[in-house]
Structure 1
């Protein structure tokens, strides 16, 4: 009898494990961990064999970690309940497709990591997220990206600062239009044939670039080296050009002079100046609002203090009346006697 029970228990455990592995058990049975990281609500569903985005999480989640799962498709409703997400981690899944408007509700999203998936392109709506600063799509085979970017609405709305497209099979840097905030791009381990002047012109504030393990031709390689040196771009990881600059490279035009002469470069600089001016005015407006608020608080405090003083004086008067009632009676009698004397005289 005991042996039969043991066998049944072992069988149950094996069946339960198999059902869990193949996703037959409800996601509610697999609990995600809730944490507080830098005052942000983080939900960690890391490596839980999930097949889709769970819909039973707290709607207040701000950091959602869904890395190392088996998600193949992001659906339109996947993040509809989670409009407060600021950081979304989806790396090391099997994501092949993304339905339109999947990210439409993530207006607060600042960073998304879609690296190490099976994407063939970047969903264009990502570039229109109003708060997105960091975008990771490295280690995806983005063979359809260049064609899809022709339909991209420019200028993009996302204030991108960091863009990682390493190891994506790209032959040129992605043309996403003018990006005045972009200061770092990682395009390493791509078979880059060249980097066009128009693409560089839209990155007028670039401070760091990684082009290691690329396959640029000799002329393009020396052009980008000269461009980076003249622009004084630091924190660079550059390919080794096969041969030093020689006579056969005399026909390579100076990339810097061409780039800074393009209208895209001027537009990028103008966008930067406009953003700086907007930021300055916002700062001034914030300071003035703060001063005005402080003045209102001071006036309120002064008025309240004055009313308290008046109330205290009134209370003292009332207190005197209650403490010395005889004085008040004597005074009234004197007044009445005076009135009588006046009447008798008359």
Structure 2
């Protein structure tokens, strides 16, 4: 009985010691690590911890992860250090969790992130720091009750740094489109399944390159419907997912949106920024091509110089070999033949020594 008690105590001590030796965030998740799947699509490291009943962002994964899929878990809160180890993330999937709050600074380390999916959670707003991520192109926050978004956006610094191209705010209880300032690269927005009772043309003026807009299952009035359809036609965008206006309203009742959008300062500013970004991209391409050309010229020049240096060395070697050869010796002549040549008064060169 005493031996049994000693064995139990020793086992407990060993267990405690083992847990203390584990790195932070590792204890109690050994099985979870084994369940996470590792892939390399397009040479990018993807880790999929899908439907594992996780309650927080795991800290035992490879820090070089570029695509992190944490969908279908039970994460309720994102902490400021949740992604400190994973600064290489480009795509972050947090779909279908229970996220209610996000601590300030949570996404600050993710300067390379291009896409984030926060859809189907319990958010009441979008963390404003997301809009300042320098590489973020695609943002999914659909199926959240964003009741506080309009209030929080009043403290947003515009223009935002995120080069947003796609925004999904479907089914978020929004009565108006979020005003994020000038968005020169935004080409698609999904605002479907929202009670959009307030849709002003001022917001659309900031989206000068819009190509697709989804307003299905919304509550926009007839005038807003007519104005949106006309605006999309003016900018050459698709009105496929916009409600069809049954009646054409008089311009006195529903003014043409041309002056408030196309002719507005916001629209022209948006166009200017888009043209500037396009010019800068072309400039960088030209600089890259010029740099490549200069590199090729330098390589060719160095090769030619090296080839020229080799030729004199080869000539010098051939001359040194020629100097090293013994001088041509006079043929050996027997004394008898020499005497004969002398008596005949001929030189050795003229004498036939054959």
Q: Which category of TM-score, normalised to the shorter sequence, fits these structures?
A: 0.7 to 0.9
CA distance, structure 1, for counterparts of residue 122 and residue 316 of structure 2: 80
Distance in 2, matches of 1:88 and 1:196, equals 32
Q: Secondary structure of the equivalent of 2:216?
A: coil
The 5 Å alignment of 1:289-304 reads 289-304=291-306
Task: Name 2:248's counterpart in structure 1.
Answer: 245
CA drift at 1:78: 0.7
Determine the C-alpha separation between the residues in 2 that align with 1:288 and 1:158. Answer: 29
1:165 aligned residue (169, 172, 186): 169
Q: Secondary structure at the match of 1:34?
A: strand
Report the secondary structure of 2:295's partner residue: helix
Residues 207-231 of structure 1 show CA distances to partners (whole Å, capped at 9, x for unaligned) of 1100000001222222212222233
- 1:240 Cα deviation (Å)? 3.8
1:61 aligns with 2:61: no
Q: TM-score under structure 1 normalisation?
A: 0.82
Structure 2: gaps (5+ residues): 1-24, 330-354
Q: Aligned pair 1:269/2:278, yes or no?
A: no
Instruction: Select the residue among 202, 219, 243 that pairs with 1:215.
Output: 219
Partner residue, 1:121:
125
Alignment of 1:87-166 (within 5 A): 87-166=91-170
Higher helix proportion: 1
State the SS of the aligned residue for 2:113.
Answer: coil
Of the structure 1 ranges 270-279 and 306-315, higher mean CA displacement relative to structure 2 is found in 306-315
The question of 1:287 aligning with 2:303 is answered no
Aligned to 1:38: 42
1:39 Cα deviation (Å)?
1.2
Give how far 1:122 is off: 0.5
| Kept after mapping to 1: 8 A contact 2:229/2:239 | no
- Segments of 5+ residues of structure 1 without an aligned counterpart are 1-22, 331-346
Question: CA-to-partner distance for each residue in 1:272-330, whole Å, 9 max, x for gaps?
Answer: 111112112212211211111111111121122223334444554566677x4xx1798
Alignment match, 2:3: none
Distance 2:175 2:190 in 1: 14
CA RMSD of aligned residues (A): 2.2
Cα offset, 1:245, TM superposition: 2.1
User: CA 1:317 to 1:80, structure 2 compared with 1: closer, same or farther past 3 Å?
Assistant: farther
Of 66-75 and 294-303, more deviation after overlay is shown by 294-303
How many positions carry a matched residue from both structures? 304
Contact 2:176 / 2:197 at 8 angstroms: preserved in 1? yes
SS in 1 for 2:122: coil
Task: Please tell me whether Structure 1 or Structure 2 has the larger radius of gyration of its CA atoms.
Answer: 2
**Hey, what's the Cα distance between the residues in 2 that align with 1:62 and 1:250?**
54
Q: What is the CA-CA distance between 1:137 and the residue it aligns to? A: 0.5
Instruction: Give deviations 1:64-114, integer Å, cap 9, x for gaps.
Output: 111111111111111111111111111011111111111111111111011
SS of residue matched to 1:252: coil
CA distance in 2, matches of 1:328, 1:60: 74
Partners of 2:239 and 2:59 in 1: CA distance = 42
Aligned to 1:188: 192
CA distance in structure 1 between the aligned counterparts of 2:159 and 2:78, rounded to whole angstroms = 26
